[in-house]
Structure 1
Amino acid sequence: MEELDSADLPAPVPGPGQLLVRLQAAALNPVDQVLITGAMREALPVRHPFVPGVDVSGVVEAVGAGATRFRVGDPVIAWNGVPSGALAEYVLINDAPSASRRPAELTPAQGAALPTGALTAAALLDLTNVAEGASVLVVGATGGVGSYAVQLAKRAGLTVLATGRSGDRDFLARLGADHVLDYRSVNVAEEAHRLVPGGVDAVLDLANAGPGLAATAAAAKDGGQLVSSLGGPPAFERGVTAAYGGTTTPEGRLDALAAQAAKGELRIEIDSEYPFDQARQALLDFTAKHVRGKIAVVF
């Protein structure tokens, strides 16, 4: 991370099906850290040097051949895949369901803070395959994905248990958590079983990976489920099954999430904003601080 630097690069040119976007804001995600450090170079190979950033919010500057959904001047948001280069003045995005028109009710920073977090949360909740009235434990609930997962789970009619720190209680309750578990002072699995006798129907773990998932899988009921974006074993003790996934962009989903946010039905939590000339510091702080929601870089 200490080797981060800024540089002047030529403006990209949109190819077929692409849009050139002049950035107004970008948001940071854990994948940025992973790509920068090469921590998952085998699964996510990236040639260095590269421009990080996958959350885009800006204005269409030019339209490539065959791109028909947007016009020059349209405000847009996008989840841009890995890597995409959103921490730059200009970026190319695809004219695809991964992009949406930014509602006028959302600021550029709010627009940037929506795509990755909300799309990933929705995709992972799909994997839990639980019905209204079920219970879910969200581990890592204060982060960029977790803050949306809590809200979407509550809107789906689930009883939501959420992990955080003692100071996060009001924040998580505001998002819709029915119970907040302070992971620094209680055994999360034991507390989940106390609050939901027999265990929760599903655990959505956004913080742990591999063998570390066993501790939170213990919060699920016998035959329950654990869902994670970080990967791990196929099953756990007591018949608890596992499902792993990440960001997906079904047709219309980002449009719907943006509309919900515009109507105030989905909160966009921004921990802090940094000007573009402090993007390096934003990335360094992102690795070091306890973040509630998202960190945005504004242009």
Structure 2
Amino acid sequence: MRALAATAYGPLEDLEFIDLPRPVPGPGHVLVRTEAAALNAVDKALITGTMRHVVPVRHPFVPGVDVSGVIEAVGADVTRFAVGEAIVAWNDVPSGALAEYVLVKATAAAAVRPAGLTAAQGAALPTAALTAAALLDISGTSPGDTVLVVGAGGGVGSYLVQLANRAGLVVLATGRTGDQEFLDGLGALHTIDYQHVDITEEALRLVPGGVDVVFDLANAGPALALTAGAARSGGRLVSPLGGPRSFERGVTAVYGGTTTPDGRLAALAAQAATGELRIAIGAEYAFAEARRALVDFAHRHIRGKVTITF
């Protein structure tokens, strides 16, 4: 089978198309014929090696944690899925979605793809939507709370704005010039153009005293102190990227990442199929252009998700 792979840690431009044996599903796994994949920040980190001390990979390494395709074979003890079913999955590491076939764990991290979703839409869902839902879970918010979503135009952010709005939260979102209509359509009450105004100052102008929770999807480490300043005294900052445990004025930090509670991915897919949850795809590439897709993903501002179709 053809796959896009990293033969060693290095720049995205060094990725190569290679031939690999078609995987055979073992117990608890299914073999999926890939129809589409989507890109995430973790793909770049695993390819370049910035996460090698935390999550090392074996080479040749095939990136891609979001996959949408059709089950070709099932391993022993698999009763959750059947041959011929279309599924979507968050495949974690060792990833592998940028190949013609990929092994997927037959767990709650995979779900049947509803008829109302295209393959590309299905691929754009798992990591970003599951992460957004997980961050909302740990935020401690209640209906009526005000929140600031930093990085609202990206994959996770586009889902988080929608889920927060549906949870009854008042959403302020950050974006670039020209993103306002897009973010308003997702449910943001105010869009802050970070290219022309200071995010924290503008948030405090819009919500004197500060928002209840800041979701920062863009910054990590000490840089989080800047956006934490938009939270009220005793408020919270939520991030998937890690940083200090607390900030000035009693603002506390909560960190989390992708989780797969049973039934959640299936529920998100069902909502997306009916249009209740919008899937924003900012760029689509063919598999032959997958290397360029990763380079563009790393260096261009793209709203929503980047997908690759086979």
- The 2-side partners of 1:6 and 1:135 are apart by 47
Number of the residue aligned with 2:96: 85
Number of the residue aligned with 1:241: 252
Number of the residue aligned with 1:154: 165
- The 2-side partners of 1:83 and 1:155 are apart by 34
**Correspondence 1:287 to 2:298:** yes
- The 2-side partners of 1:175 and 1:102 are apart by 23
- The 1-side partners of 2:188 and 2:45 are apart by 29
**Correspondence 1:72 to 2:83:** yes
Q: Shift of residue 42 of structure 1?
A: 1.3
Q: How does 1:1-299 map to 2 (within 5 A)?
A: 1-299=12-310
Please tell me the root mean square deviation across aligned C-alpha atoms, in Å. Answer: 0.7
- The 2-side partners of 1:100 and 1:171 are apart by 28
Identity between Structure 1 and Structure 2 (%): 69
Q: Shift of residue 48 of structure 1?
A: 2.9
- The 1-side partners of 2:79 and 2:95 are apart by 21
- The 1-side partners of 2:86 and 2:59 are apart by 30
1:143 aligned partner, one-letter code: G
Could you say what secondary structure the match of 1:19 adopts? strand
Instruction: Give the alignment's TM-score, normalised by structure 2.
Output: 0.95
1:227 aligned partner, one-letter code: V
- Summarize deviations over 1:98-144 as a string: whole Å, max 9, x none: 00000000000000000001000000111111100001100000001
Q: Shift of residue 194 of structure 1?
A: 1.0
Could you say what secondary structure the match of 2:143 adopts? coil
Q: Shift of residue 242 of structure 1?
A: 0.3
Could you say what secondary structure the match of 2:59 adopts? coil
Could you say what secondary structure the match of 1:222 adopts? strand
Q: Shift of residue 288 of structure 1?
A: 1.3
Q: Which runs of 4+ in 1 moved over 4 A?
A: none
Aligned length: 299
- The 1-side partners of 2:168 and 2:242 are apart by 27
Q: Shift of residue 39 of structure 1?
A: 1.2
Unaligned runs of 5+ in 2: 1-11
Unaligned runs of 5+ in 1: none
